[in-house]
Every structure is written in structure tokens, then in C-alpha cells.
């Protein structure tokens, strides 16, 4: 039995397939996103590296078409003419800005359109002029930037050479004076309190204890306020005249500031004379009847000529009304064999002993 081929069935299938293809093409052109198109001329005023026919066209970042034609301008070989086909609904204007972007890691170029306000006549196809340098890639931009930097360096080679020479001279000077710079830095560190602080050595002033028997005592209460002094004397350092740094005195420090130290030792001196009637500090007795006011004039080492310590005090006794009962200037000095802390303190003790004895006797007689 011979099998007949179903020619009618095969023919019907082929016709259906052809109709399906035509239907798909029709859908693709009308409903699939291609639809009606409008073509525009674009002119690039420079190279467009990598731009090919079929490259995408973006309007405000949205793909709206592709490049359909590329060619060189006949009147100017530096220019490139292109034709783009975009969706008719794309709002392209005669002043729409045209550029070229390189997308992705491989830098695929696409034509970019942006903005525009001037509407073209319906009968004409406007020519869009791309921005100058629109086709410049990042590599080319980097090359141009480096070329400009090289030009600037070449134009200023003389001043740059002089600047480098000056820097070298400055660095050589620093190298030659490294030791001095270390000393300056160390001095600044010491002045600002940085680094390892030096251990201070404290020295005290000694009150005389052999003032003889108290033949006469104070008839009225007496107070000794803190002596007054200029700011230079409000210190615990050893003072020199003229001012100078001497070895061994960098760590020297009196037990208290000079005025407070003199106040304490004068009170000790009166106590050593007659402890029963010794004066007190003004703050300890409130409003005292009489006060022994001391002004410190000198308390230093005079280093000019033969070195010696010098102490000078101005003393006044006033009553509770502020009237001066008596006044006196007491001075004492003591020679120094050598300028060093221990010898200086011993000389100050000797000079202060004479002053304290004189003040105690004068005050007892006056009050």
C-alpha cells in the first residue's frame, strides 16, 4: 500500500509560518518599540573614536534610536557627519545639545542628546552641531591635560630650576646647623614644659636665733603683712644683677616666693627674740593695732666686679589709723668667694641675719 504525502497539510503549515513572521515584523515595527522614526543630521567638529553605524542614541539617558550613517564632511575633513534615527516622539529641537559618551568598561561610544527649546519647521531636517571636543575620550583628555602641564613646566623651567636650587641651599643649611637646631628645639621644649623636667633643688632662708635676751618687749600687738615687691621679685628663682645665667642655678628654687619667704623668716626672728610677744601675720589677727610694713627693694646677687649678695628692705610701722609711727631703710651685703648655690645661700643667711637683728631692735624700741 502506497503512503500519500499530506501536501495540503504541509502547504498550510508553511503559509502559517510565513504569516507569523510577517505578523512579528509588523508588531515589532508598530507595537514592539521601533515604531515611526525621524532622522537628523549631526556634525561632530572633531574625531569620533569608536563610533559605528548602529551605535545607540540616548536622550536624557534613555535609548531612543541609533546611528544609521557615518561619513567625513566634504568641505572640511576635520568634521564628521552622522545621521541618527530616533523615535518620532523624541523631543529633539534645533538647539538640542549633542555629545558623545563612552559607556561600560570597554568604552563603547553612544550619541547623547539633551534638552533644547527651539522647535524646527516640520518640513526641514535640522543639523545638530555637537559640542567641541564631544568625541574626546578620557584617554585623549588625559593626554591633553598632560600636554598642557608639560607646556606650563616648559614655560616656567627657569623659575622652577631656581626654586629647586633654593630648596637645596636651604636643606644644606639645615644639615650644617643640625646641632644648633637641636639646641633650639630643646630650649623650646624646656620653655614650654615639655620633655623630662629637671629636678628642682629647694633652698630655705634661715632666721637668726642669737638675738640676745629680750630686754624690752612689744608693748602693743603687732602684725607683719606679706611684704610688697615689684613683679620681678615675686619669684622663687635666684636673681642676678645684671641678669645672666650661671651654672648650677637652673635647678635652684627658694622654698617660697621672696616676699612670702621674708615674711615668714622675719616672724621667726621676732619669735626667737621674744616668743611671748612675737607678731603674727595680718590675716591671723584681723585688724591689728600696729603693723610692720615691708617693701622689698633688692634681694639678688650683684655679679659685677666682686660678687656679693645684696638685701635692701624699706620698713614702716603704722598704727590702726594708718599713721606712720616710724620708718627705716635697712640694707646688708655679703661677699661671695664663688657664684654657686650653696655659697650664695650661706651669704644670704648672713646678710639676712644682720637685717633681721636690726629690724627687731628698731621695732621694739619704736613700739
Q: What is the pLDDT of residues 103-125, one digit of tens each?
A: 766 667 888 888 777 766 655 66
Q: Is the pLDDT of residue 127 over 50?
A: yes
Domains of the chain (ranges; CATH) run 36-133 (2.40.30), 201-366 (3.40.50.10610)
Exposed (0-12), middle (13-18) or buried (19+): which is 150, by Cβ within 10 Å? exposed
Please state, in angstroms and rounded to a whole number, the distance separating the CA atoms of residues 192 and 38: 80
pLDDT the model gives residue 271: 87
Please state, in angstroms and rounded to a whole number, the distance separating the CA atoms of residues 329 and 318: 15
- pLDDT tens, position by position, 153-211: 778 888 888 888 888 888 877 777 776 777 777 767 766 655 555 678 999 999 998 77
pLDDT the model gives residue 105: 61
Q: Which residue has the higher pLDDT, 198 or 6?
A: 6
- pLDDT tens, position by position, 317-364: 998 888 999 999 999 999 998 899 999 999 999 999 999 999 998 988
Q: Is the pLDDT of residue 31 over 50?
A: no
Percent of the chain predicted with pLDDT > 90: 27
pLDDT the model gives residue 191: 65
Q: Is the pLDDT of residue 286 over 80?
A: no
Please state, in angstroms and rounded to a whole number, the distance separating the CA atoms of residues 68 and 333: 112
- pLDDT tens, position by position, 215-261: 777 777 888 999 999 999 999 999 999 998 888 898 999 999 999 99
φ, ψ of residue 124 to 5 degrees: the values are: -115, 150
pLDDT the model gives residue 216: 78
Q: Which of 336, 328, 318 is nearest to 361 (CA)?
A: 328
Q: Is the pLDDT of residue 139 over 80?
A: no
Percent of the chain predicted with pLDDT > 70: 81
pLDDT the model gives residue 173: 77
Q: Is the pLDDT of residue 263 over 90?
A: yes
pLDDT band at 214 (very low <50, low <70, confident <90, very high): low
User: What's the rounded mean pLDDT across residues 276-283?
Assistant: 71
Q: Which of 114, 125, 116 is nearest to 58 (CA)?
A: 114
pLDDT the model gives residue 314: 95
φ, ψ of residue 64 to 5 degrees: the values are: -125, -5
CA triple 224-229-235, angle to 5 deg: 105
Please state, in angstroms and rounded to a whole number, the distance separating the CA atoms of residues 264 and 258: 10
Query: 245 in helix, strand or coil?
Result: coil
The string over 1-13, giving b where at least 16 C-beta atoms fall within 10 Å of a residue's C-beta and e elsewhere, is eeeeeeeeeeeee
Please report where in the chains the cell 620633655 appears, as a residue. Answer: 195
- pLDDT tens, position by position, 86-101: 888 888 887 888 888 8
Please state, in angstroms and rounded to a whole number, the distance separating the CA atoms of residues 11 and 20: 14
φ, ψ of residue 228 to 5 degrees: the values are: -90, 155
Mean pLDDT of the chain: 81
Amino acid at each position: 500500500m502506497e503512503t500519500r504525502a499530506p501536501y495540503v497539510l504541509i502547504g498550510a503549515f508553511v503559509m502559517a509560518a510565513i504569516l507569523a513572521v510577517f505578523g512579528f515584523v509588523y508588531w515589532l515595527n508598530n507595537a514592539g518599540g521601533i515604531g515611526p522614526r525621524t532622522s537628523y543630521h549631526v556634525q561632530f567638529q572633531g574625531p569620533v573614536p569608536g563610533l559605528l553605524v548602529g551605535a545607540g542614541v540616548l536622550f536624557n539617558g534613555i535609548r531612543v534610536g541609533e546611528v544609521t550613517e557615518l561619513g567625513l564632511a566634504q568641505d572640511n575633513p576635520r568634521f564628521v557627519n552622522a545621521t541618527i534615527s530616533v523615535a518620532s516622539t523624541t523631543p529633539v529641537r534645533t538647539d538640542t545639545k549633542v555629545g558623545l559618551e563612552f559607556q561600560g568598561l570597554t568604552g563603547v561610544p553612544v550619541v547623547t542628546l539633551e534638552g533644547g527649546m527651539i522647535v524646527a519647521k516640520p518640513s526641514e531636517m535640522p543639523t545638530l552641531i555637537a559640542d567641541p571636543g564631544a568625541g574626546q575620550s578620557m584617554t585623549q583628555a588625559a593626554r591633553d591635560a598632560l600636554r598642557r602641564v608639560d607646556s606650563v613646566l616648559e614655560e616656567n623651567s627657569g623659575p622652577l630650576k631656581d626654586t629647586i636650587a633654593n630648596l637645596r641651599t636651604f636643606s644644606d643649611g639645615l644639615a650644617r646647623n643640625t646641632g644648633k637646631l637641636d639646641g633650639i628645639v630643646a630650649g623650646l621644649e624646656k620653655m614650654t614644659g615639655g620633655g623630662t623636667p629637671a629636678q628642682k633643688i629647694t633652698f630655705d632662708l634661715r632666721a637668726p636665733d642669737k638675738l640676745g635676751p629680750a630686754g624690752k618687749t612689744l608693748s602693743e600687738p603687732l602684725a607683719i603683712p606679706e611684704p610688697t615687691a615689684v613683679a620681678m621679685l615675686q619669684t622663687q628663682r635666684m636673681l642676678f644683677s645684671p641678669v645672666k645665667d650661671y651654672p648650677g642655678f637652673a635647678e635652684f628654687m627658694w622654698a617660697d616666693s621672696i616676699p612670702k619667704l621674708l615674711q615668714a623668716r622675719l616672724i621667726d626672728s621676732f619669735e626667737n627674740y621674744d616668743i611671748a610677744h612675737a607678731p603674727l601675720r595680718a590675716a591671723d589677727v584681723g585688724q591689728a593695732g600696729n603693723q610692720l610694713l615691708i617693701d622689698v627693694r633688692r634681694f639678688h646677687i650683684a655679679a659685677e666686679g666682686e660678687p656679693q649678695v645684696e638685701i635692701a628692705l624699706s620698713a614702716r610701722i603704722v598704727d590702726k589709723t594708718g599713721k606712720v609711727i616710724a620708718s627705716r631703710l635697712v640694707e646688708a651685703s655679703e661677699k661671695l668667694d664663688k657664684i654657686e648655690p650653696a655659697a650664695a645661700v650661706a651669704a644670704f643667711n648672713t646678710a639676712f641675719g644682720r637685717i633681721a637683728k636690726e629690724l627687731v631692735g628698731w621695732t621694739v624700741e619704736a613700739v
